[in-house]
Amino acid sequence: MSPVGLPLPDTVPTLSGERVRLRAGRPGDDAVIARLGVDPAVMRVYGAGGAARRGLTQSEAALILDRLTPTSSSHGWVVESDDRIVGNARLFAVDPDEQRSRYSIGLFSREFTGHGIGREATRLVLTYAFAVLGLHRVALRVLGFNAIAIACFRACGFVEEGREREAVRFEETWQDIVTMGVLDREFASFAASQPDCGRLSGLARVVRQELGVTEHAGIL
């Protein structure tokens, strides 16, 4: 493994917060995800349609899990809260040379939103990205009308970097795509200023020790 913790380790580490746990997928998760389905109200803010809540087929659920399988350029997690699967999160398009990545997160139901789950999960992944892997930058794209997601990402240190104006046609109207990003030093400064981020340094140390990653001065 290089001094900055890249390329990606073969193992996806478990990332545990106060109320949220991120872990690798395992047998049986597809059945749980199939039963949960995806709430149409949630699908809408991701840019997909759907008139009624429905379950997923086993193959559809398996496809979600397949995207979480670790590769040379991505790591993914099942997101749990109160021992229930509530969503998934991914670092993808990881570029070891440029030390950057993209990020996405999805929750399966409205009942899981508004409780800080997405915020805590995102902070855990960013801690892993910067303090363990040694990335310099993490970026994402979100639909401009998804105010809840944008507020969540801002609460994790992301800043808006630009807009792709009227880039997506959705529900008969053109929608902007907002691009957001956060740098390693920005996240370290942000986390240090947030009382509820106090456990992130400890988490980073534990995961670095488990993976045998070199310490990173000044980054958590």
Of residues 170 and 65, more confidence is placed in 65
51 pLDDT more than 60: no
Q: pTM for this one? A: 0.91
Tens of pLDDT, residues 158-177: 999 999 999 988 888 999 99
**Cβ-based neighbour number of residue 147 at 10 Å:** 11
pLDDT band at 42 (very low <50, low <70, confident <90, very high): low
Tens of pLDDT, residues 182-202: 999 999 999 999 999 989 999
pLDDT at residue 6, as a whole number:
78
Of residues 3 and 30, more confidence is placed in 30
Q: Which two tokens stand for residue 181?
A: 């990003």
pLDDT at residue 55, as a whole number:
64
21 pLDDT more than 80: yes
67 pLDDT more than 50: yes
151 pLDDT more than 60: yes
**Cβ-based neighbour number of residue 179 at 10 Å:** 15
31 pLDDT more than 70: yes
Domains of the chain listed by start with CATH number: 15-205 (3.40.630.30)
93 pLDDT more than 70: yes
pLDDT at residue 44, as a whole number:
67
19 pLDDT more than 70: yes
- Full DSSP string of the chain: --TT--S--SS---EE-SSEEEE---TTHHHHHHHH---HHHHHHTT---SS-----HHHHHHHHHTTS--SS-EEEEEEETTEEEEEEEEEEEETTTTEEEEEEEES-GGGTTSSHHHHHHHHHHHIIIIIS--SEEEEEEETT-HHHHHHHHTTT-EEEEEEEEEEEETTEEEEEEEEEEEHHHHHHHHHH-GGGTTHHHHHHHHHHHHTPPP-TT--
Range with lowest mean pLDDT among 66-75, 111-120, 156-165: 111-120
